[in-house]
Structure 1
């Protein structure tokens, strides 16, 4: 038996890369029985019937995983958002950041379509991006069309497995094409009727880009906090987690509790008010979530 890494999953087949090349594998029935689904990025043990086909026998322990997009063992999540068409949304960005932070994956924020910005709009977007830089996030404003900022992204890819994730139509495939024109990934225009992009990526696949592996994933428009508990949410907001140590009450949720250091930091302008508003909305969403059985 041989060890390899799943680099593509499509129609029930798993394409495993090892030293000898790429082998098309199926998962054994034991995975269905144990409710273990192999994911792109998994390191696996497989048994090959020949040099082209085989069966996955074992999935090695994961250091992390995401549900949507379904991928494991990523070093970083490159969150791709557009400055325009569709409009930049701090709410949606914070939603993605919470999912990534809670999964223990390092996020990097990329805002595309800088070429569409007026000087006034660019100033507004830069104001938001500076907030995220102050929190401690790496942030790059770029354009796949003019290649502004693209070279800033390249060093982050070298030697790492990265997942590209973001709302539909923000230009993930265009950005990957700008990083490596040989990919020729399919792109689509924004639907003027729906105001969002059409899905151009149909499956998760790891591809070689910039000296590393990058997952191009299907775009999606919503995320639910299915795996996060209310008491853990503040940990996914680094600026809140930092000051929460000074809250009077242990287990403070930073909502109605007295002498809350997080609320004081918001009032003093140390935490952006919109970040705190998003936190309150997310915690309410978690509290109203239907219990899992």
Structure 2
């Protein structure tokens, strides 16, 4: 049986890339019975009589999957955040980073619209970029308008399946339009009333950019820590995980425990105070989560 990768899901059809051909497929009823929904990025086994009449027979094991956006087997996430319009939010970025880290996906931080910043705003963004680089993250400062820094993304995309993710209106589609002008993806200005952009991407699709595959996604409407447990959170903050090895007690949650190296590092500036505050807030959020039955 032939095999391939789902590169687009739309209106009940799955478009499977196999070799140089794309075959339009439907899912067999067995998926509904087994509660398996094929996702973009899935490696599948299919049968087809023509390029428009195929059926997916099997979805192979996934190395990871995201619910919003619905995509599987992602290598890395380009987390797109604007410097302004909408304003840069470290809390929202850290929430994205936790979810990406938890799913064993490499995050790359891409801060857009730097051409719109004034001197003070630009210096603040530079400081945040420095903080996240010290934590071990790759950070790119870009402008789709001037194209500054955008081409620096290309080496990261080569040979990888990447998802572009971030809140609406930050310029994900604009970035992709610079990387591949022929795409002509729709973009929207920020609503002055709502202070955020409308979703301009309606479905998930893997598209070729350079020598990699990139997913432009409809964005995230929810960012809840539904599957993350208290002991997992430590591993989703690289600098906290590294420093926790110096804590006196094994299993330290870095809240009220004595001789906590993480608390000390936050107090003396080794770990940015806002990162530690977000860690504590997220930990409390997980503690307050209603149990699932």
Name the TM-score class by shorter chain: over 0.9
How far apart are 1:231 and its partner, in Å? 1.1
Deviates more, 1:148-157 or 1:44-53: 44-53
- In structure 2, how many angstroms separate the alpha carbons of the residues matched to 1:148 and 1:190? 21
Task: Map 1:104-183 onto structure 2 (within 5 A).
Answer: 104-183=104-183
- In structure 2, how many angstroms separate the alpha carbons of the residues matched to 1:267 and 1:221? 34
Contact 1:2 1:45 in 2 (8 A): yes
Write out per-residue CA displacement over residues 218-253 of structure 1, whole angstroms, 9 at most, x where no aligned residue: 023541011100111010000001111121222111
Query: Aligned with 1:225: secondary structure?
Result: coil
- In structure 2, how many angstroms separate the alpha carbons of the residues matched to 1:219 and 1:163? 10
How far apart are 1:49 and its partner, in Å? 3.0
- In structure 2, how many angstroms separate the alpha carbons of the residues matched to 1:221 and 1:270? 33
Runs ≥4 residues deviating over 6 A: none
How far apart are 1:20 and its partner, in Å? 5.0
Partner of 1:281: 281
How far apart are 1:160 and its partner, in Å? 1.1
Supply the RMSD in Å over aligned alpha carbons: 1.0
Query: Aligned with 1:9: secondary structure?
Result: strand
Partner of 2:219: 219
Partner of 1:242: 242
Structure 2: runs of 5+ lacking an equivalent: none
Partner of 2:262: 262
Write out per-residue CA displacement over residues 169-199 of structure 1, whole angstroms, 9 at most, x where no aligned residue: 0000000001110000000010110000000
Contact 1:169 1:219 in 2 (8 A): no
Partner of 1:4: 4
- In structure 2, how many angstroms separate the alpha carbons of the residues matched to 1:122 and 1:195? 20
Structure 1: runs of 5+ lacking an equivalent: none
Residue 199 of structure 2 corresponds to residue 199 of structure 1: yes
- In structure 2, how many angstroms separate the alpha carbons of the residues matched to 1:26 and 1:287? 41
Deviates more, 1:30-39 or 1:3-12: 30-39
Partner of 2:185: 185
Contact 2:68 2:219 in 1 (8 A): no
How far apart are 1:131 and its partner, in Å? 0.1
Deviates more, 1:32-41 or 1:186-195: 32-41
Partner of 1:61: 61
- In structure 2, how many angstroms separate the alpha carbons of the residues matched to 1:221 and 1:10? 19
User: Matched residue pairs, number?
Assistant: 293
Partner of 1:292: 292
Contact 2:248 2:259 in 1 (8 A): yes
Contact 2:68 2:222 in 1 (8 A): no
Query: Aligned with 1:111: secondary structure?
Result: strand
Query: Aligned with 2:139: secondary structure?
Result: strand
Contact 1:168 1:221 in 2 (8 A): no
Task: Map 1:65-80 onto structure 2 (within 5 A).
Answer: 65-80=65-80
Write out per-residue CA displacement over residues 14-46 of structure 1, whole angstroms, 9 at most, x where no aligned residue: 110102511111111211222211110010001
Contact 1:82 1:113 in 2 (8 A): yes
How far apart are 1:208 and its partner, in Å? 0.7
Contact 1:83 1:113 in 2 (8 A): yes
Contact 1:23 1:51 in 2 (8 A): yes
Partner of 1:44: 44
Partner of 1:87: 87
Deviates more, 1:33-42 or 1:269-278: 33-42
Partner of 1:16: 16
Contact 2:75 2:161 in 1 (8 A): yes
Q: TM-score, normalised by structure 2?
A: 0.98
